Amino acid sequence: MNWGVIYDYRDLFIRGIGYTVLFTSVGVLFGVLLGLIFGLGRLSKNPILRWPSLLYITIFRGTPLFVQILLIHYAVIPTVWSLFTNGEPPSAVFSGFVALSLNAGAYIAEIFRAGIQSIDRGQMEAGRSLGLNHGQTMRYIILPQAFKRMIPPLGNEFIALLKDSSLLAIIAAPEFAYAGYATAKSTFARWESYLTLAAGYLVLTLIISRFVAYLEKRSATD
């Protein structure tokens, strides 16, 4: 095997790792925001909030991320963009941010729902008896307790999204998997390129796993 090929294309791989971390971080960040909104909406007794939340969660959990990426990049964004401007639609990077955020939001919404429902109902009653309204009780009593229980599944979602971000290679987003694919296509060094991808993703997932384990340990002692 000619590992010198990987060294020659090192800038492409390093750039790809940077974009992969960026895609994953942005996806999780906005996914948490969407997850909190739609997770609470899913638990709401108001049908105006509950049914749109349930529809969003069902669609994005029930369809493949691969299909979502294609639909968002080649159909949704160009169509929406053409309604407001005559310019070129945003790049694959923007589409990647949107697709991963929407997908992660649906899964994280269910994590929030399960975490909140795992808290004893007496906690809400205790908060209300202290004079707090529903929102204050949720913010100061329920969510802090639920979040500690949500750390492991949120960590799993972070890892899953990191690996799923490789699907963005299909729209030529400059992430890690695309770097390996482009290198293999240009040099025919398939073993070297794809083994480098496997090793890179393994290292990234191990780093995240250790970080999540640290957060779990720390939250258990708080």
With a CB cutoff of 8 Å and minimum separation 6, the contacts of 205 are 159, 162, 163
d(CA 163, CA 165): 5
Predicted local distance difference test score (pLDDT) of residue 215: 86
pLDDT score for 148: 86
Pick out the chain residues at pLDDT < 50: none
Do 118 and 43 touch, CB atoms closer than 8 A? no
% the chain with pLDDT above 70: 99
End-to-end CA distance of the chain: 51
Alpha carbons within 13 angstroms on the beta-carbon side of residue 163 total: 13
CA distance 104 to 101: 5
77 neighbors 90 (Cβ within 8 angstroms): yes
- 158 contact partners, CB below 8 Å, separation of at least 6: 24, 28, 208, 212
Question: In CATH, what number is assigned to the domain containing residue 120?
Answer: 1.10.3720.10
The predicted pLDDT at position 222 comes to 61
Specify the pLDDT at position 82: 87
Tens of pLDDT, residue by residue over 101-135, are 999 999 999 999 999 888 888 888 888 888 888 77
Buried b (16+ CB within 10 A) or exposed e, 146-157: beebbbebbbeb
What is the reported pLDDT for 173?
A: 95
Query: How much is the pLDDT for 76?
Result: 94
Tell me the CB-side half-sphere exposure of residue 129, using CA atoms within 13 A: 6
**Given this model, what pLDDT does residue 221 score?**
64
Give the pLDDT score at 183. Answer: 95
User: Quick one: pLDDT at residue 142?
Assistant: 87
Summarize pLDDT for 168-183 with one digit per residue, the tens: 999 999 999 999 999 9
Mean pLDDT for all residues in the chain? 92
Domain that holds residue 142: 4-221
Question: Residue by residue, what is the 3-state secondary structure of the chain?
Answer: CCCHHHHHCHHHHHHHHHHHHHHHHHHHHHHHHHHHHHHHHHHCCCHHHHHHHHHHHHHHHHCCHHHHHHHHHHHHHHHHHHHHCCCCCCCHHHHHHHHHHHHHHHHHHHHHHHHHHCCCHHHHHHHHHCCCCHHHHHHHHHHHHHHHHHHHHHHHHHHHHHHHHHHHHHHCCCCHHHHHHHHHHHHCCHHHHHHHHHHHHHHHHHHHHHHHHHHHHHHHHC
User: For the chain, what is the domain count?
Assistant: 1
